[in-house]
Amino acid sequence: MEHTEQDKQAQLIQALERLAFGKITDAIKLLFCDELNTRMLNRLDLFPVSEIKRLKGGGMEIKFYDRLKALQYLQELYHEQSGDAAGLYHALEQGVRAFEEDEA
């Protein structure tokens, strides 16, 4: 099945929204977890994580994608689609809605 440009743009927007507004709680769980297993790792949402390093002293370093850059890209995409500043407002509104749904 071939993806149209509209499908690709929708997927891109969805991914940017996940980066900009997504939770990092699963990454924090990973950071403080004493015992890791494959089943647990498969259930974690690590989409916003750009890098994970095990440190020599036994610790762990987790780096996240830049939320502000994701917001900037969303603003550009929405601005292109709407032709005005309403695009940023729409992106922020969707992010707030997603955050409220996750909190419920």
pLDDT single digits (tens) 45-70: 999 999 999 899 888 899 999 999 99
pLDDT at 6: 79
Helix (H, G, I), strand (E, B) or coil at 46: coil
pLDDT digit string, tens, across residues 11-30: 888 999 999 999 999 999 98
Angle at 47 between CA 90 and CA 26, to 5 degrees: 105
- Domain locations along the chain: 5-103
The verdict on pTM exceeding 0.75 is no
Average pLDDT, the chain: 83
